[in-house]
Amino acid sequence: MKIAVIGATGLVGREIIKVLESRRIPLTEFIPVASGKSVGKTIEFSGKAYNIVSLEEAVEQKPDVAIFSAGALISLEWAPKFKEAGTTVIDNSSAWRMHDNVPLIVPEINGNILTAEHKIIANPNCSTIQLVMVLFPLNNKYGVKRVVVSTYQAVSGSGNRGVDQLMNERNKREGEKYYPHQIDLNVIPQGGDFTEEGYTTEELKLVNETQKILQSDVRVTATVVRVPVINGHAEAVNVEFENDFDFYDLKRLLGFMTGVVVFDMPEGNLYPMPLIAEGKDDVFVGRLRRDFSQPNTLNMWIVADNLRKGAATNAVQIVEYIIKKQFVN
């Protein structure tokens, strides 16, 4: 089996390579793809150096699977070309997520909707993935009615440019400004561009993608904040349910959810943090407590590595699923 990684030199692309290696995905050929300035250079995979090729060359090689992490414009232009070549595309950008005929997949939740005919598969936004991983078992049992979520998003969610700005400011170096303001020793209540309604594009992704994945008209409102953390997104979440819940049963449900770790020991000052989640594939949830201001409502704190489960790991898990179902050779 041939696997291509488009955007192989970026933050997420390099993480995809690590996850492919660690999860021992069976492949006969690895095809790293990057921009023109990287073509001809080499990148290592499983101890072997591979030449980076262009998108044109990669299409000609007709990979079985192509994992895209090179931005929406590249995905919109090139995913259909790979599809025409018989390749199954797994796209990390926002390009295809809300297309009606493109499945938006978190394997633990809705991998079962995939078929061999799906040749473009969308990977959700990193913040959406960790949110729905926790909401899914609770929605099945209690019915999620409304979600209020505030995110605390690491700069690696903006790629190398976000990390570079933070580290340049921290080390008092001159450099390119990716964010509209200083990020070191600051928080910026903006993710993406502002819309006419005053929400940002990142906030609307949380709303729309959550509804699509859960196949529900659950009401979601979001505030996205960028924080001076390199890796690991955190979310403060308030969930109102249709039905009341037993607190013990609720924690048990979360504990049984594959890919979710309940890390909730306030008496020992133990709760999810980016430092705990970094480099791990699980979604961590803690600070679980009833909201006493209204019935049937829960407060919780969710943290995950945005480069792992929020992007690379979820994409590779989709690859594993379609291999298991023999949708690809």
Give the pLDDT confidence score for residue 328 in this predicted structure.
Answer: 83
Phi-psi region of 101 (alpha: psi -120 to 50; beta: other; left: phi over 0): alpha
Give the pLDDT confidence score for residue 203 in this predicted structure.
Answer: 98
Task: With 0.85 as the threshold, say if the pTM is over it.
Answer: yes
User: CA 178, 236, 133: angle at the middle one, nearest 5?
Assistant: 95
Q: Is 233 a catalytic residue?
A: yes
Query: CA 126, CA 5: separation in Å to the nearest integer?
Result: 18
Query: CA 37, CA 109: separation in Å to the nearest integer?
Result: 39
CA–CA distances in Å: residue 289 to residues 34, 229, 248: 46, 26, 11
Per-residue pLDDT of the chain (329 residues; tens, 9 = 90+): 999 999 999 999 999 999 999 999 999 999 999 999 999 999 999 999 999 999 999 999 999 999 999 999 999 999 999 999 999 999 999 999 999 999 999 999 999 999 999 999 999 999 999 999 999 999 999 999 999 999 999 999 999 999 999 999 999 999 999 999 999 999 999 999 999 999 999 999 999 999 999 999 999 999 999 999 999 999 999 999 999 999 999 999 999 999 999 999 999 999 999 999 999 999 999 999 999 999 999 999 999 999 999 999 999 999 999 999 998 86
All structural domains of the chain: 2-124+311-324 (3.40.50.720), 127-306 (3.30.360.10)
Q: Is 181 a catalytic residue?
A: no
Which H or E element spans position 220?
Answer: strand 219-226
In 3D space, the residue among 232, 225, 210, 228 whose CA is nearest the CA of residue 281 turns out to be: 232
Contact 191, 200 (CB under 8 A): yes
DSSP per residue, 245-308: --HHHHHHHHHHSTTEEE--BGGGTB---HHHHTT--SEEEEEEEE-TTSTTEEEEEEEE-TTI
Query: How is the chain split among helix, strand and coil, in percent rounded to 5?
Result: 35, 25, 40
Q: Please identify which of the residues 99, 118, 181, 233 carries the catalytic annotation.
A: 233
